[in-house]
Amino acid sequence: MDRAEDRRGFDEKPCRLDFSRAYTLRGGDPRMNGQIEFTLNDKPVSIHVDERAFLLDVLRDQCGIRSVKNGCQPHGQCGACTVLVDGRPKLSCSLKASKVAGKRVVTCEGLGEELRRQIAACFVQSGAVQCGYCTPGMVTRGIALLVRNPVPTRKEIAKALRSNLCRCTGYAKIIDAVQLLWKVRLGDVSVPRAELSGAVGTSLPRYRGAETVLGDRPFIDDMSEPEMLFGAVRLADHPRALVKGINIRAALAVEGVERVITFRDVPGERYVGLIQQDWPVFVAQGEETRCMGDVMALVVARDRHTAHQAAELIAIDYDIRDPVTDPNEALKPEAPKIHPSGNLLSTSAVARGDASKALAESAHLVDRVFRTQRVEHMYLEPEASLARPDGRGGLKVYSAGQGMFDDRRQIAAILGWPVERVNVELVSNGGAFGGKEDLSVQGHAALAAHVCGRAVKVVLTREQSFRLHPKRHPMELHYRVGCDADGHLTAVQARIIGDTGAYASVGAKVLERACGHAAGPYKVDNVDVEALAVYTNNPPSGAMRGFGVNQVAFALEGCLDELAEKVGIDGWEMRWRNILRLGDRCTTGQRMDKPFGLSKTLLAVKEVYRSAKYAGIACGMKNVGSGNGTADEGKATLTIEQDESVHIRIGHTEMGQGLFTLCVQEAAQETGLGPETFRVSSDTTDELDCGQTTASRGTVLSGHAVVAAARKLRADLDAGKGLSDLVGNVYRGDYAYAETSPLGAEVPDPVTHLTYGFATQVVILDEQGRLQKVVAAHDVGKVMNPLQLEGQIEGAIHMGLGYALTEELVLAGGHVKSDTVNSLNILRAEHMPEVEVIFVEEPDPDCPYGARGVGEIGLVPTAPAVAEAIRKFEGRRYYRLPMRESAPAGAILDARQKRKGK
């Protein structure tokens, strides 16, 4: 078939359009000094615009288009804003609106209804949507490709998507969706039928998936309220400086500015934090800044652009001081104190047996220092919040965070209110990966709404997001690992220092987790580990997918590979001789007393590892649940509504991982009702406080709670009652696992976590040293939704490969130098190798249906497996991440440089 000739299913125009809505064009602004005319979704538009305005702003702010998203304006590097201009994909956040005069602009809203139905079905049934923030841009780019090339190969699709970034999926399923779409459009296959039974173990389509694909499900920046105001933050200019004065007069003089809010306007607590309240909502005059992400003021104005322009006019008088940016320097007695308590946030330690003696008696010893980098989450949706007075003396706050009850507690503290006056509702966010656990702008939006008496929306720019939210901890890890002559591990001794940046966030817990996983999924009788979390004037470090375990896995697995070479066995055999088995104790001393499938994951990859010339292998384990002496809780309610639907409310967050979909499946499984009966949300209407959506625990904890509530509903249904008889009933489910021990507790049988996830991964390079394939075998306990689960692992591996090879948030003197999306070097679709996922099901009796959480384990073994594959190809070992000088990294980065040079 000649692809250029076969255009079945497509018009000569880019798309068939069905445009039925009328746009309200808001003009009359004196700054709008030019008029342009163009066709938008087959309707003529005549509009006044500022000559500096970008097309994205015109589409969103003046035309009411919501499918185009702002992920990185004005850089045009993430693709979330992609539109079609005369049939060609363009990045609207960097395209001046004046450039489309006389042209034809198409967005997802303007695609014909039949085409929209096909797109939604193909993307949802392929598992190509997770958080969904990038998806409309992917759709637009895919349509442009199919118009030009109706039957593209996978390689051609990946190349076409190179301008569009996805942080969730790993791209494979997006490519699947585009391939399926062209087959549907050409009539080769019919639109796939969804699995609608809802039973656990089936691939029920993602909850609200079709809306999300087309950009119809709103994110916070898509929401508006009557007479809404817009807030813009003014951040610090120096990572460490005494604030002598804050002059807001010039900002207040700007037409359209309603209020400038500073530390003086905070009626309650000015310092917040998840664990330690050491993070100021606003830095006060007379205080030192601690990092470049400190908020100095908030401008509230009638429109977003005015707010940002006025914020730049705020003048701050500083006494600039030398920042403390090296955690080793910060620990010295003479170092300036970043906080009154000093620069050491926490010390975590585990000691079992006599590691020093065992190391001295070992037949083989490896003594190495490893270093890992700071990493930006780069979720596609920047931080956003909208707050409004509720008319009853309180506030309604819309949050994109990971813990709405923690948000409520901190917002109430800022306002000096009881928590009951604050109602926080989760708006499912555009990715988080741990980076939205801390309060970001929710407090600022709430305070502004309270002060102004009107709804206020605050959205960060991408550069502000880089500076403000916590990152993955960079760590220095000194490991000494020994084994006997047969390769059995004798001892692990580790000293770990983590740069936790300016504020505590959850840094103490990250280093606690690193300490508790320092010996990995291996039987080691002698363990001596100490991990320090240290304050610096760098941006904060906190939660990110893996939560400290990725760093120690890179170090430990590297030591195992060196020991294997000394013993004369391969990497697979080294791990087989040392992996944990039933009855063994892990790093913390917890006994593995429940079935788990680590050995099965290792067996699953044995042949592929040994048959490949350049293959690296690594194992991993990752806690499920916070544990370490804290209770893990899940809470849910099922409310029978007037329309006989069942409203599931849970205390955890949907952020693209598919938690809401699993809740529907569990409720359908237990009640026998169809999945269409249920809708799901997270808010503080019901008291369902169960902490952050973290530690891979949402599936387990919310799952238990939903099952418990659903079984109560089922009992009434079995008694002969229908939903019409039960309207208004609320069925509550609660679950708590409170049997864990603090790290290092001197008890005979410590239980530090509810359970763990386990995995083995193999990374294979081709003859040119490029990434060729990743094989990931994971013990998931029970496959709840095969399509979603596979997508979670693929997305984690994408993040793990970037962590291993290319990604880093570069700082200099506390200043962020990686200030654009491209500078982060995140892998694009064309960089991804084939990924094969193998599921091992070893049910955990403490988990619903036996299912373990898998949100983080997917990238724990990835970097060390890459490192060993590189060692085989290049003949040298790497002890620092990212491995940018390696062959596979070079293949990615060199190709990027060549494209930039064209």
Mean pLDDT by 10 residues, the chain (902 residues): 31 29 35 81 94 94 97 97 98 97 98 96 97 98 96 97 97 98 92 85 96 98 97 98 98 98 98 97 98 98 97 98 98 98 98 98 98 98 98 97 96 98 96 96 98 98 97 98 98 98 98 98 98 98 98 98 98 98 98 97 98 98 95 96 98 94 97 97 94 92 98 98 98 95 93 97 98 98 97 98 98 96 97 98 97 96 98 98 98 76 52
**How far apart, in Å, are the Cα atoms of 816 and each of 160, 433, 467, 471?**
30, 20, 7, 12
What does the alpha-carbon distance between residue 195 and residue 23 come to, in Å, rounded to a whole number?
37
Rounded to the nearest 10°, the torsion over CA 574, 579, 585, 589 is: 70
List residues bridging with 811 in a β-sheet.
Answer: 816
Q: Which phi and psi angles does 540 have, rounded to 5°?
A: -60, 150
Question: How would you label 165-192 residue by residue, b for 16+ Cβ within 10 Å and e otherwise?
Answer: bbbbbbbbbbbbbbbbbbebbbeeeeee
List residues bridging with 127 in a β-sheet.
Answer: none
What does the alpha-carbon distance between residue 373 and residue 810 come to, in Å, rounded to a whole number?
9
CB 771 within 8 A of CB 787: no
The pLDDT, as a whole number, for residue 3 is 31
> Is the preceding peptide bond at 882 cis, omega within 30 degrees of 0?
yes
CB 577 within 8 A of CB 483: no
Which amino acid, residue 609? Y
3 state SS of 348: strand
Rounded to the nearest 10°, the torsion over CA 594, 739, 549, 842 is: 20
Task: Give the number of residues written for the chain.
Answer: 902
Q: Which phi and psi angles does 723 have, rounded to 5°?
A: -60, -35
Candidates 653, 654, 625; CA nearest to 853 is 625
Alpha helix (H) residue ranges in 14-66: 55-57
CB 204 within 8 A of CB 658: no
What does the alpha-carbon distance between residue 432 and residue 707 come to, in Å, rounded to a whole number?
26
Q: Which phi and psi angles does 422 have, rounded to 5°?
A: -120, 125
pTM of the predicted model as reported, rounded to 2 decimal places: 0.95
Candidates 299, 305, 294, 278; CA nearest to 237 is 294
In sequence order, the 6+-apart residues with CB closer than 8 A to the CB of 312 are 234
Intra-chain end-to-end CA distance of the chain, in Å = 32
CB 623 within 8 A of CB 516: yes
Region of residue 187 (phi > 0: left; psi between -120 and 50: alpha; otherwise: beta): left
